[in-house]
Amino acid sequence: MGPHGIGVRRSARPHRYCDEVIGLDQLHSVLPRADFIVVSAPSTAQTDGMIGGREFALMKSTAGFVNFARARLVDYNALAKVLREGKLGAAILDVFDPEPLPADSFLRETPNLLITPHGSSRNGSSDDLERYLPMTLDLVFDNAAKMLAGRRYETAVNLRREY
């Protein structure tokens, strides 16, 4: 009776929180099945522009769409078009280019679109200096200590993956 989670990942390797996992090359095969599409991928040469007009056309007209990853992954013009035409149920956007979203952006007038201030994907918003700054400094100092000790540290960038 619960939701059936389908993960789309580069490796297609199973994930404990997904009922099913496919590779990015099979994205189009699952979009027509999805009631909700949540984009949470890094911005790379492979992912930038991954959701556009073709992908929105494959989605159910009742589907919900969420992007809290990076703005470059999604064609916001195509998103606004399907929302205006009633070909997509609703969307939530938490990331924009540029950021903050300009006051005169067409997105602000798009029906069935909820705009949030780029903070929903973090444990603490960067605007919350009481939480965010100490968390960030703890991570920086912990990683520096691990690096100096020759140990692997969190947030190391894999240049081949681009993140």
Contact 19, 4 (CB under 8 A): yes
Assess if residue 1 is contained within a domain.
Answer: no
Query: DSSP labels for the chain?
Result: -----EEEESS----TT-SEEEEGGGHHHHGGG-SEEEE-----TTTTT-BSHHHHHHS-TT-EEEE-S-GGGB-HHHHHHHHHTT-S-EEEE---SSSSPPTT-GGGG-TTEEE--S-TTSSS-TT-TTTHHHHHHHHHHHHHHHHHTT---TT---TTTT-
Q: Domain span at residue 113?
A: 6-121
Task: Give catalytic residues, as residue numbers.
Answer: 70, 99, 118
Structure tokens at 23: 């590779």
Question: pTM for the full model?
Answer: 0.81
Return the pLDDT at 162.
Answer: 80
Q: Is 81 a residue whose pLDDT tops 60?
A: yes
Domain identity same for 72 and 144: no
Q: Is 124 a residue whose pLDDT tops 60?
A: no
Domain identity same for 11 and 34: yes
Q: Is 155 a residue whose pLDDT tops 70?
A: yes
| Average of per-residue pLDDT across 116-132 | 64
Q: What is the pLDDT of residues 31-57, one digit of tens each?
A: 999 999 999 999 999 999 999 999 999
Domain identity same for 89 and 135: no
pLDDT band at residue 121 under the 50/70/90 scheme: very low
Return the pLDDT at 119.
Answer: 67
Assess if residue 98 is contained within a domain.
Answer: yes
pLDDT band at residue 127 under the 50/70/90 scheme: low
